[in-house]
Amino acid sequence: MHTLRIELGRGLELTSAECKWGPTAEGWSVTIVGPFGEKTGYGYDAFEALTKVRQQIEPDGWRVGLAGALPNVWPSGMARDMGSGLKAYVLVSGVRPKPEDLVDVFSAVSPAKAVDVATQLHHVHEILGI
């Protein structure tokens, strides 16, 4: 299990939290311990598990300060299948992603740059033209 101190944001409020992630018997789990207590998401890969835990805390306005929550970051099928969803591409409209565009989804970023899952998916669809 990996552990990282991260920032959570809600409006102008910033707070520190703990993020833990690792493989399970059925896939992956991601746990965030913050002002809301402990929330855990499970998924086929690490990115899906992160998405699931984000969906639990986002209705209360919380944004996670991780690269995997940026509006233009999404893993390819290969990154998910072969890399367990630990890395994702920084997507740019009209530009085919290259290996150097991969980022660690658990690298810390400002929560002010993060978006909710629905907004992220909308941006990714716009970028990819789907």
Angle CA(86)–CA(57)–CA(5) in degrees, nearest 5? 55
pLDDT tens digits for range 46-57 = 999 999 999 999
pLDDT tens digits for range 78-99 = 999 899 999 999 999 999 999 9
- Domain encompassing residue 67: 2-128
Residues of the chain short of pLDDT 50, as ranges, are none
Helix (H) or strand (E) holding 49: helix 46-57
pTM given for the model: 0.96
The candidate with the shortest Cα–Cα distance to 51, out of 109, 108, 111, 116, is 116
The candidate with the shortest Cα–Cα distance to 73, out of 85, 63, 59, is 85
**95 forms bridges with which residues in the sheet?**
92
- Report pLDDT for 129: 87
Q: Based on the structure, what is the number of domains in the chain?
A: 1
- Report pLDDT for 51: 98
Question: Could you write out the DSSP letters of every residue in 51-82?
Answer: HHHHHHHGGGT-EE-BGGGSTTEE--HHHHHH
- Report pLDDT for 122: 97
